[in-house]
Amino acid sequence: MTQQRQEKYRQYYQVPDYTITDIELDFVLDPATTIVTAISRVKRLNSQANVLILDGKNLILHTIHIDDKPWTAYREEAGKLIIESVPDTFVLKVVNEINPLKNTVLEGLYVSADVLCTQCEAEGFRHITYYLDRPDVLARFTTCIIADKSSYPYLLSNGNQIDKGETNDGRHWVKWQDHFPKPSYLFALIAGDFDVLYDNYVSQSGRNVTLALFVDKGNLDRADWAMVSLKNAMRWDETRFGYEYDLDIYMIVAVDCFNMGAMENKGLNIFNAKYVLAKTETATDKDYLNIKAVIGHEYFHNWTGNRITCRDWFQLSLKEGLTVFRDQEFSSDLGSRSVNRIENVSLMRAHQFAEDASPMAHPIRPEKVIEMNNFYTLTVYEKGAEVIRMLHTLLGEEQFQAGMKLYTARHDGSAATCDDFVQAMQDASNIDLTLFRRWYSQLGTPLVTVRDEYLAEKQQYLLHISQITAPTSDQAEKLPLHIPLDIELYDTQGNVIPLQHSGRAVHSVLNVVKVEQTFVFDQVNSPPIPSLLREFSAPVKLDYSYTDEQLALLMQYASNDFARWDAAQSLLSIYIKENVVRQQQREDLILPQHIIDAFKSVLLDEACDPALKAQLFTLPSENEVAEWVAIIDAIAIHNVINFIIQKFANEMAA
Ligand code: BES
Ligand code: ZN
């Protein structure tokens, strides 16, 4: 059946007419012909409604019963099953057939090597059975799986295992129960043969959790790091966020054929094997860090995504932006905070800024969607995480955690919106976030321009700050945003000048909320060097006319490692831009001696962390440089970057 590709709009959200509170799923597994029986407890929510419309794709319908009676008042239409004249509350039994072997879209139940495996986010469950396949329908799932015992010794699904048995024809069955209500996108099923790494974890309150990591036969020697990472993630989430695991077992399965990196199905995470397996002989440090981050990310979804899920897919950043923020913090608390920050900001500048300036640009909470799968973007994920980080910067850790607690208390076990999240942050902190909410609806990267003025006679320093976001076809008029701008001032010796105004200390995070604003600092004895947008305190582009000397000083003396790196990048950017023009005009490329000397002194600074040094000497990517120029001359950019690398290599070798 062909299907209309229809746009859906956020503003037209409607609560569902019906909900499903409990579902019993029964799978008779076979790669070519799997029979699915779904017994759902259905409840009417809208008294005006009397037809139940279920989603379903590529399904062969066998039978429908309502309250045990065969039901014929239904029709199938463009991806929907429309059941008429249904009562207020009833038990719906649907039997249908699917073909996992022929399922090549990798949504629903499919075959990966010898494994039967599911992927249901965002709208894959409708490839398994007819259902209300939307995230605001939360049901308790019980799943019984029957399959051939020799081909599929492991039969897994969400929740705790409650029963199992054997039939006398070589098959066996396992029954799982997940008592946490969840949307269908978090359903998972795995059948196959694996090697298993078992461990256990005792949670804060004393729950003994079995940990099981399922890998392809022969891969156990590469499973340890994922298990270590999982236990670290569980401990970290308890200590930093107060979130504890809630089932008796936590399973991770590594499969080769997986579109994405990994998926947070309740109690049964499914991973692309490359984010699970590593051994020192073949994996790089980066591989190890990635595994830690992805294992953490999916684990952290247990609260931010699963216990509290999204009302509709427009709210995707509610779980993804927040969970990326959480996995970034996990990596930073357990590793190098500055290196993590530098890498995340590089990704933002090189790729998210480009997306935000492209025809694909969309707000972190999109307004309209045709195909949901196209919205798992850097904007929703990475810019979404930056928006959460700005809240953290504005509130501070303590109030941010108070906001998280309030959000959890209000919405645990339900489907929430981005607005709900910001509201909890506002209510817990008493900070007015009205303006801040624009980050959710306005697309594009703001440009923050800073001009300064030193008044020697008053010993005053002024920062004139303006912000502008370029208009786009769907948002002609852009509004000013609430931008937390973290700053510091230095004297020419590299000492910090305390921020004060009218006899009072001023917080280093300035609240930029208007199109134009001036901040005044007193008791500044000499023209200072400003360190601006420390820690990349907002996802904006910054324009301030630094001199080479100022940047060299910040690179050497800034108290914040990120600020040092950022100064190095700015210094390099000056000469990259200049050299791109020179290259185009066929002039010689240049890198002045004072730049080389500044970098050399960092290299020789024994107090500087070697990992930071490595970052300071990493040139901006060609993608990022492309963001700085009106017309992208890829060859010139490439040659200039190579020239600087060569120059550094030659000069530093001496
Ligand atoms: N929920 C997603 C996986 C997903 C994305 C499923 C899109 C279906 C469609 C998961 O939590 C996720 O975000 N995974 C990331 C890795 C993570 C470390 C950012 C991925 O798969 O790339
Ligand atoms: Zn995620």
pLDDT in tens, 532-570: 999 999 999 999 999 999 999 999 999 999 999 999 999
Per the annotation, the verdict on 298 as an active-site residue is yes
What per-residue confidence (pLDDT) applies to 3? 53
Q: What is the residue type of 624?
A: E
* Ligand having the closest approach to the CA of 290: 1
In the chain, the N- to C-terminal Cα span, in Å, equals: 70
What per-residue confidence (pLDDT) applies to 287? 96
Q: Which of 120, 376, 379 to probe ligand 1 with, by most ligand atoms within 8 A of CB?
A: 376
Question: Is 202:265 a contact under the CB 8 Å cutoff?
Answer: no
What per-residue confidence (pLDDT) applies to 624? 87
- Number of the ligand 1 atom closest to the C-alpha atom of 264: 11
Residue bearing the CA closest to ligand 1, atom 9: 121
Question: DSSP for 203-217?
Answer: -TT--EEEEEEEE-T
Residues of the chain with pLDDT > 70: what percent?
99
pLDDT tens profile 193-216: 999 999 999 999 999 999 999 999
Specify the 3-state DSSP secondary structure of 328. Answer: helix
Query: How many whole angstroms separate alpha carbon 116 and alpha carbon 190?
Result: 6
Give ligand 1 pocket residues (Cβ under 6 A): 121-122, 260-264, 293-294, 297-298, 301, 320, 324, 376
* Ligand having the closest approach to the CA of 295: 1
C-alpha closest to that of 450 among 466, 462, 439, 426: 466
Specify the 3-state DSSP secondary structure of 366. Answer: coil
CA of 601 to the centre of ligand 1 (A): 42
* Active-site pick, 24, 107, 298, 355: 298
- Best CATH choice for the domain 313-431 from the list 3.30.70.120, 3.30.365.10, 3.40.50.720, 1.10.390.10: 1.10.390.10
What per-residue confidence (pLDDT) applies to 654? 66
Question: Is 242:406 a contact under the CB 8 Å cutoff?
Answer: no
CATH class of 446-545: mainly beta
CA of 262 to the centre of ligand 1 (A): 5
- Number of the ligand 1 atom closest to the C-alpha atom of 373: 9
Residue bearing the CA closest to ligand 1, atom 4: 263
Q: How many CB atoms are located within 10 Å of the residue 208 CB?
A: 9
CA of 588 to the centre of ligand 1 (A): 46
- Number of the ligand 1 atom closest to the C-alpha atom of 327: 18
Q: Please report the sign of the dihedral spanned by the C-alpha atoms of residue 636, residue 637, residue 642, residue 648.
A: positive
What torsion, rounded to 10 degrees, do the Cα atoms 291, 297, 300, 303 define?
-150
CA of 572 to the centre of ligand 2 (A): 34
Architecture per CATH, domain 15-193, reads as Sandwich (2.60)
Chain center to CA of 434: 24
* Ligand having the closest approach to the CA of 322: 2
Contacts (Cβ under 8 Å, ≥6 apart) of 307? 180, 246, 408, 412, 413
* Ligand having the closest approach to the CA of 260: 1
Long-range contacts of 633-639 (CB under 8 A, 24+ apart): 633/580, 633/583, 633/584, 636/580, 636/583, 636/584, 637/576, 637/580, 639/583, 639/589
Instruction: Answer yes or no: same fold for 15-193 and 446-545.
Output: yes
502 φψ region: left (φ > 0), alpha (ψ -120 to 50), beta (else): left
Chain center to CA of 624: 21
Residue 500 tokens, joined: 């004060």
How far are the Cα atoms of 265, 389, 608 from residue 537, in angstroms, in the given order?
Answer: 32, 8, 23
- Number of the ligand 1 atom closest to the C-alpha atom of 293: 18
Confidence of residue 4 (pLDDT cuts 50, 70, 90): low
CA of 376 to the centre of ligand 2 (A): 9
Contacts (Cβ under 8 Å, ≥6 apart) of 388? 321, 322, 325
- Best CATH choice for the domain 194-302 from the list 3.40.50.2300, 3.30.2010.30, 3.20.20.70, 3.30.70.260: 3.30.2010.30
- Boundaries of every domain in the chain: 15-193, 194-302, 313-431, 446-545, 548-654
Query: How many whole angstroms separate alpha carbon 290 and alpha carbon 384?
Result: 20
- Number of the ligand 1 atom closest to the C-alpha atom of 260: 21
pLDDT tens profile 334-351: 999 999 999 999 999 999
Contacts (Cβ under 8 Å, ≥6 apart) of 113? 216, 255, 256, 257
Residue bearing the CA closest to ligand 1, atom 22: 261
Any idea which residue has 């000469």 for tokens?
A: 575
Specify the 3-state DSSP secondary structure of 190. Answer: strand
C-alpha closest to that of 123 among 102, 139, 142, 137: 137
Q: Which of 186, 259, 263 to probe ligand 1 with, by most ligand atoms within 8 A of CB?
A: 263
Long-range contacts of 218-225 (CB under 8 A, 24+ apart): 219/195, 219/254, 219/273, 219/277, 220/195, 221/279, 222/276, 222/277, 222/278, 222/279, 222/283, 223/195, 223/197, 223/276, 223/277, 224/197, 225/278, 225/288, 225/291, 225/292
CA of 298 to the centre of ligand 1 (A): 8
* Ligand having the closest approach to the CA of 269: 1
Residue bearing the CA closest to ligand 1, atom 21: 261
Confidence of residue 6 (pLDDT cuts 50, 70, 90): confident
Long-range contacts of 299-303 (CB under 8 A, 24+ apart): 299/230, 299/233, 299/234, 299/237, 299/250, 299/264, 299/269, 300/233, 300/237, 300/243, 300/326, 300/327, 300/330, 301/264, 302/243, 302/245, 302/246, 302/264, 302/266, 303/237, 303/241, 303/243, 303/408
Residue bearing the CA closest to ligand 1, atom 16: 261
CA of 324 to the centre of ligand 2 (A): 7
pLDDT tens profile 608-630: 999 999 999 999 999 989 988 88
Residue bearing the CA closest to ligand 1, atom 18: 294
C-alpha closest to that of 288 among 321, 259, 331: 331
- Number of the ligand 1 atom closest to the C-alpha atom of 301: 11
- Number of the ligand 1 atom closest to the C-alpha atom of 272: 21
- Average pLDDT, whole number, for the chain? 96
* Ligand having the closest approach to the CA of 186: 1
CA of 376 to the centre of ligand 1 (A): 8
Q: Which of 118, 260, 304, 325 to probe ligand 1 with, by most ligand atoms within 8 A of CB?
A: 260
CA of 373 to the centre of ligand 1 (A): 11
Q: What is the residue type of 641?
A: I
Q: Please report the sign of the dihedral spanned by the C-alpha atoms of residue 80, residue 86, residue 88, residue 93.
A: negative
Question: Is 645:591 a contact under the CB 8 Å cutoff?
Answer: no
| Residue 1 pLDDT greater than 50, yes or no | no
- Number of the ligand 1 atom closest to the C-alpha atom of 298: 11
Dihedral pair phi/psi, residue 258, rounded to 5° = -145, 125
Residue bearing the CA closest to ligand 1, atom 7: 376
Any idea which residue has 């690179």 for tokens?
A: 555
What torsion, rounded to 10 degrees, do the Cα atoms 45, 47, 50, 55 define?
-20
C-alpha closest to that of 308 among 188, 421, 429, 142: 421
| Residue 52 pLDDT greater than 70, yes or no | yes
Query: How many whole angstroms separate alpha carbon 22 and alpha carbon 138?
Result: 8
Q: What is the residue type of 482?
A: H
pLDDT tens profile 395-423: 999 999 999 999 999 999 999 999 999 99
How far are the Cα atoms of 268, 280, 303, 471 from residue 293, in angstroms, in the given order?
Answer: 17, 18, 16, 36
Question: Is 445:468 a contact under the CB 8 Å cutoff?
Answer: no
Residue bearing the CA closest to ligand 1, atom 17: 294
Residue 172 tokens, joined: 């066996």
Contacts (Cβ under 8 Å, ≥6 apart) of 437? 419, 422
CA of 257 to the centre of ligand 1 (A): 14
Q: Across residues 61-84, what is the average pLDDT?
A: 97
Residue bearing the CA closest to ligand 1, atom 13: 320
Question: Is 237:219 a contact under the CB 8 Å cutoff?
Answer: no
Residues of the chain with pLDDT > 90: what percent?
96
CA of 381 to the centre of ligand 1 (A): 9
pLDDT tens profile 99-127: 999 999 989 999 999 999 999 999 999 99
| Residue 448 pLDDT greater than 60, yes or no | yes
Residue bearing the CA closest to ligand 1, atom 1: 263
Residue bearing the CA closest to ligand 1, atom 14: 262
